[in-house]
Amino acid sequence: MRFSSLTPFLCLFLFDFTSAASCPYAGALKTKRAAPQVATHVLPRSDPAPGKKGVFFHNRISPGVSQLYIANADGSDARLLLSNNTVYEYDAQWSPDAEWIVFTSERNGDGNSDVWRVRPDGSGLEEVAATPAVETAGSISPNGSLIAYSGTLNNWKSNIWIKDLTTGANYNITNTTEVAGNSSLPDGHFRPAWSPDGEWIVFSSDKDTLWRGHNDTKGWEHTQETSIYTMRVDGTGYRKVANSTGYSLGSPKFSPDGSRVIFYQMSVENTFQARIFFHADFVTNQIASANFATGGDWITHTDWSGIKIFPQYIDNNTIAYLRKGSGEAGSIQGLNYTAATPSGTITDGYSYLNGSFRSPSWSPNGTLVIYQVQTLDPIRPLEKVLYSWDDNWEYRFIDVFPKMSYQGVVAYTNQQTGDASASVYTMLPSGANNSFVFEDLSNTTIVPYVETVDGDFDAMQAAWTSDGKYIASGWGNTFQGHDVGPSDVVIYPSNATGYEYTIVSNQSVLNSGFPSFSPNNELLVYREFGLGGPLGLRILNLTDGSTQVLTMGWDNTPAWSPDGTLIVFTRRTSIPNGNVYQDNYDVCTIHPDGSNLTNLTPLSLANDAHAIFTNEGQVMYSTGEFGFQDEGSLYDDNFQPYAQIVVMNADGTNKTAMTNGLWEDAMPLFVSNEFWS
């Protein structure tokens, strides 16, 4: 077996070894694929915009393309609503007089959702509500003077806002003492819709529900429980219209005479499955309606399989809705219709239309439909400029787990921008010199087991030595399947092009991953997970091969502080199935000797995770504290759409949100101007 300079590194340059046996972790050198992969989805860029401190890189999970189409109700004569002025639009709704279409656009920057309106022929485009916060799901009042929408202005939580199109006044009707819920729990208000007389607004809300994981709390991504509420446009008359224990009710709309409210009814568990495309074809929910005045007299309008969302009365006889599917071959998805009453019939001319539609809205007379077509591809290229919520930094897209060396080279995992396997790449901050570094598919010992679990090979959380010569990462089922599939911590040269690596974790443990070097390169912290559950954090001494048990909790993604005095990590602080807050993860710090364990996010009962240290010693992490920004089941392929990025001091003070969008934003990295020369 051939040995490289990797072997003496593992003994940390402190001992002069002449054979592999001299170092306890020098074995298991492996051979990589014959040819390195070629990096794609890279958009090399120059220095940050003038006047900026540098670039704030982060990852985003959202569709790559989203376009609005308008067509006849039978699908014929489809055309782009905005023609060649299309940018990135979604969630369109007709005005009651059919004179306007209100929609959400990110034309002010990738990730910044604003409300706009336009004539059905594409003319008269104008901005309605546009701030750095989220504005979405606009709905025009019957008299055309007001627009209700969901917005995160002021407190990062989704509330119902009213915009007066005549005076320009903008006011919030849900973030009041009477309406607002427990701020530590979900407290979002979504998808407003007007009554025919313009007196009432109905909307969905997850206020005062619990943060719960999917799969009986085994999954850490949140489910969502929403009910239907109403209030007058002046903020009075607030009350609950409909709820059902264990179910999420969403996207309410009035009947033509205003006597009933229609909505979709989905089990809370399925609100996670419905937003993941590879689960979508196996989820079933129904369309129901209730008496608006009493909340009673429920009618279930469907009783067949599939996801059914975005219900809307076409007329007194017919209800239209979207049948959502995965889009895979054989998947059923499209526009569908059902009778408005149990013994009624659908109005002639309406029949199922197959297609990859999303968020449909039918015109008041039912002859036209507007919808969005969205795709994950093309993936955002590395270095794509995003909307900047902090004017001091230029925001840019990067793939997951980015980490920069002290020499100014960025390592990352190409989970989104690569092929099916997540490999480690390096590049300069500009995107230049993008190079494949590590992913091993030739290891016949571990590969078959990884394939059995989920087929995904993850090389996650690349960590640099201080001299920039070596990288450590997990490899195997590091992320998915970590409780049943294998993963090891490996170290390899940063210029290895994937040809050599050394396993340094304890191979008798099922799953090890997410390493981080101490600043002096003598220690390596990582997490362990076994078949019986989490095993906690371990510190490997690279000089003598000894291992220290740092924690025994449900802990993950450790990272060393620049001065070496602290390790930040994520801990599950709730007791599975033993606490009402069954899905709570917090950002914690601990000294390397195991002392001074501190929870930095105790007030947040949502997930706080993926924490890292900045070069200046601050902590950045992703949080679900601000809650869902929309109904979760309406998303596609978005595990945690509520994730926002926050930066804070190492003691947990001075928390500042760095993002405020509809999508899952995570994996941050500051690169100051000094690293661009």
Q: What confidence tier does 644 reach under pLDDT thresholds 50, 70, 90?
A: very high
The per-residue pLDDT for 213 is 85
CATH homologous superfamily of 65-375: TolB, C-terminal domain (2.120.10.30)
The per-residue pLDDT for 29 is 34
Lowest mean pLDDT among 6-10, 544-548, 586-590: 6-10
Q: What confidence tier does 640 reach under pLDDT thresholds 50, 70, 90?
A: very high
Q: Which sequence spans correspond to the domains of the chain?
A: 6-60+379-676, 65-375
Q: What confidence tier does 216 reach under pLDDT thresholds 50, 70, 90?
A: low
Higher pLDDT, 121 or 215: 121
Gap between the Cα atoms of 185 and 210, Å rounded: 6
Chain position carrying tokens 């959502």 = 324
Average pLDDT over residues 353-368: 97
Higher pLDDT, 457 or 75: 75
| Per-chain mean pLDDT for the chain | 90
Gap between the Cα atoms of 245 and 286, Å rounded: 15
The per-residue pLDDT for 482 is 77
Instruction: Name the token pair of 492.
Output: 């390899």
* Strands annotated E in 120-275: 126-129, 135-140, 146-151, 159-164, 170-172, 189-194, 200-205, 227-232, 239-242, 247-254, 260-267
For residue range 311-326, list pLDDT tens digits in order: 999 999 999 999 999 9
The per-residue pLDDT for 116 is 99
The per-residue pLDDT for 215 is 77
Instruction: Name the token pair of 586.
Output: 């917090």
- C-alpha dihedral (240, 244, 245, 246), degrees to nearest 10: -130
Nearest to 548 by CA among 586, 506, 503, 507: 506
Task: Give whole-number Cα distances, 506 to 57, 461, 489, 529, in Å.
Answer: 33, 18, 9, 11
Average pLDDT over residues 287-295: 98
Nearest to 291 by CA among 260, 252, 324, 248: 260
Q: What confidence tier does 200 reach under pLDDT thresholds 50, 70, 90?
A: very high
Q: Do domains 6-60+379-676 and 65-375 have the same CATH topology?
A: yes
Determine whether 553 is exposed, middle or buried from the number of CB atoms within 10 Å of its CB (0-12, 13-18, 19+): middle
For residue range 373-399, list pLDDT tens digits in order: 999 888 899 999 999 999 999 999 999
Higher pLDDT, 1 or 621: 621
pLDDT at 675 over 50: yes
Percentage with pLDDT > 70 across the chain: 89
Q: What confidence tier does 458 reach under pLDDT thresholds 50, 70, 90?
A: confident
Measured in whole angstroms, how far is the alpha carbon of residue 93 from the centre of its chain? 25
Query: What SS3 class is residue 22?
Result: helix
Instruction: Compute how many other C-beta atoms are within 10 angstroms of the C-beta atom of residue 342.
Output: 8
Instruction: Name the token pair of 536.
Output: 């906690």
Task: Give whole-number Cα distances, 533 to 211, 367, 527, 567, 578, in Å.
Answer: 21, 56, 12, 22, 16
The per-residue pLDDT for 480 is 73
Is it true that the peptide bond before 378 is cis, omega within 30 degrees of 0?
Answer: yes
**Side-by-side strand order, sheet with 358-362:** 79-80, 65-72, 368-375, 358-362
- Give the phi and the psi of residue 411 in degrees, each rounded to 5: -105, 145
Q: What confidence tier does 78 reach under pLDDT thresholds 50, 70, 90?
A: very high
Average pLDDT over residues 20-37: 36
pLDDT at 499 over 50: yes
CATH of domain 6-60+379-676: 2.120.10.30
Average pLDDT over residues 219-247: 95
Strands 393-397 and 54-61: parallel
Name 529's Cβ contacts closer than 8 Å, sequence gap at least 6. 482, 483, 509, 510, 511, 512, 535
pLDDT at 37 over 80: no
Gap between the Cα atoms of 419 and 269, Å rounded: 30
DSSP codes, 422-477: B-EEEE-TTS-S-EEEE-----TTTHHHHHHHTS--B----EE-TTSSEEEEEEES
The per-residue pLDDT for 15 is 30
For residue range 588-622, list pLDDT tens digits in order: 999 999 999 999 999 999 999 999 999 999 999 99
Gap between the Cα atoms of 284 and 227, Å rounded: 18
Contact 521, 11 (CB under 8 A): no
Average pLDDT over residues 482-495: 89
Instruction: Compute how many other C-beta atoms are within 10 angstroms of the C-beta atom of residue 595.
Output: 7
Determine whether 578 is exposed, middle or buried from the number of CB atoms within 10 Å of its CB (0-12, 13-18, 19+): exposed
The per-residue pLDDT for 447 is 58
Instruction: Name the token pair of 403.
Output: 């980490």
The per-residue pLDDT for 363 is 98
The per-residue pLDDT for 442 is 65
Q: What confidence tier does 219 reach under pLDDT thresholds 50, 70, 90?
A: confident
Nearest to 168 by CA among 210, 126, 203: 126
Instruction: Name the token pair of 501.
Output: 């690596």
Average pLDDT over residues 523-530: 97
Instruction: Name the token pair of 562.
Output: 């620049």
Q: What confidence tier does 20 reach under pLDDT thresholds 50, 70, 90?
A: very low
Q: What is the pTM of this model?
A: 0.93
Which amino acid type is present at position 143? Answer: N
Lowest mean pLDDT among 395-404, 406-415, 478-487: 478-487
The per-residue pLDDT for 531 is 85
Name 580's Cβ contacts closer than 8 Å, sequence gap at least 6. 210
Contact 589, 568 (CB under 8 A): yes
Q: What confidence tier does 46 reach under pLDDT thresholds 50, 70, 90?
A: confident
Q: What confidence tier does 214 reach under pLDDT thresholds 50, 70, 90?
A: confident
Contact 3, 25 (CB under 8 A): no
Sign of CA dihedral 662, 663, 667, 668: negative
Query: What SS3 class is residue 306?
Result: coil
Please name every residue paired with 405 in a beta bridge, in sequence order, or none if there are none: none
The per-residue pLDDT for 3 is 27
